[in-house]
Amino acid sequence: MPAEDAFYIIVMGIMPYIAATIFTGGLIYRIAIWLKSGQKSQLANPKKSSIIERIINLFKGLILEIFFLRKVYKGSRKLWLVTWPTHIAILGMLIGHSRLVAELTPIWNAFNMTQEDIEFFSGLSGSIVGVIMITGLTILLLRRMVVKEVRAISVLDDYVLLVLLLIIGIFGMTMRLIPEAHVLISEEIRPYFVNMLAFNPWPFIASASNPYFAMHLLIVEIFMIYFPFSKLIHVINITVSAVIKGISK
């Protein structure tokens, strides 16, 4: 078997399952450890407020922490001005990636969009979120390398996470901006991706084989394997804390 074929088979046919297993298992393990720790005592707080109040608190906490990054805002406005757009761009990018699974037909229909409009809109919005994400990550990485006080408290994990996300973003943007790297979502990538989710990627690997896509996917897989053991687990901790606080207040 040519080495190139082996590369695609490993990255597109085997590693997605290894990455998904380690990602899920790692998350369950980290959340279980975290719930066993001191945080658990919050659950035992007397529940003085009504269930409605607690649910409102829960949503307020989640929105403020996840969508507005309240903790960062309170800590440093300057940092928030970079971190917030970067996070919103990552969220936009994740929403855009839903096209990997299905065409967003109801949305296109609601705005009477033609095929040309759809291509234009997704091309423009994807490029905007990609540029904001890459710019934000680059600023955050440079800040860690250049600002003395931040460099002093930075550990390898901080750099690894930023670099992995940055490389993923760069390969993603390459598929958009460089003609020879371009992929056809509905004809090549979606059939592979949907069948990969259904545990039958093999017949679809050849037509989706593209070195830029494969590299994008490979770094995503490395990121997924690394995520549960990294500092980024704070995303999950913030969510779980907000839920616990919201319910137990």
Residues that bind ligand HEM (CB under 6 A): 93, 96-97, 100, 126, 129-130, 133, 165, 168-169, 172-173, 175-176, 183, 185, 189, 193, 213, 216-217, 220, 223
Q: How far is the CB of 166 from ligand HEM (least distance, A)?
A: 9
Nearer of residues 133 and 242 to ligand HEM, judged by Cβ: 133
Q: How far is the CB of 75 from ligand HEM (least distance, A)?
A: 24
Nearer of residues 224 and 247 to ligand HEM, judged by Cβ: 224
Nearer of residues 64 and 88 to ligand HEM, judged by Cβ: 88
Q: In the bound complex, which residue of the shown chain has the CB atom lying closest to ligand HEM?
A: 172
Q: How far is the CB of 94 from ligand HEM (least distance, A)?
A: 7
Q: How far is the CB of 129 from ligand HEM (least distance, A)?
A: 5
Q: How far apart are CA 155 and CA 135, in angstroms?
A: 21
Nearer of residues 80 and 192 to ligand HEM, judged by Cβ: 192
Nearer of residues 174 and 248 to ligand HEM, judged by Cβ: 174
Q: How far is the CB of 47 from ligand HEM (least distance, A)?
A: 37
Nearer of residues 204 and 246 to ligand HEM, judged by Cβ: 204
Which of 248, 233, 199, 244 lies closest to 31, judged by CA?
233
Q: How far is the CB of 172 from ligand HEM (least distance, A)?
A: 2
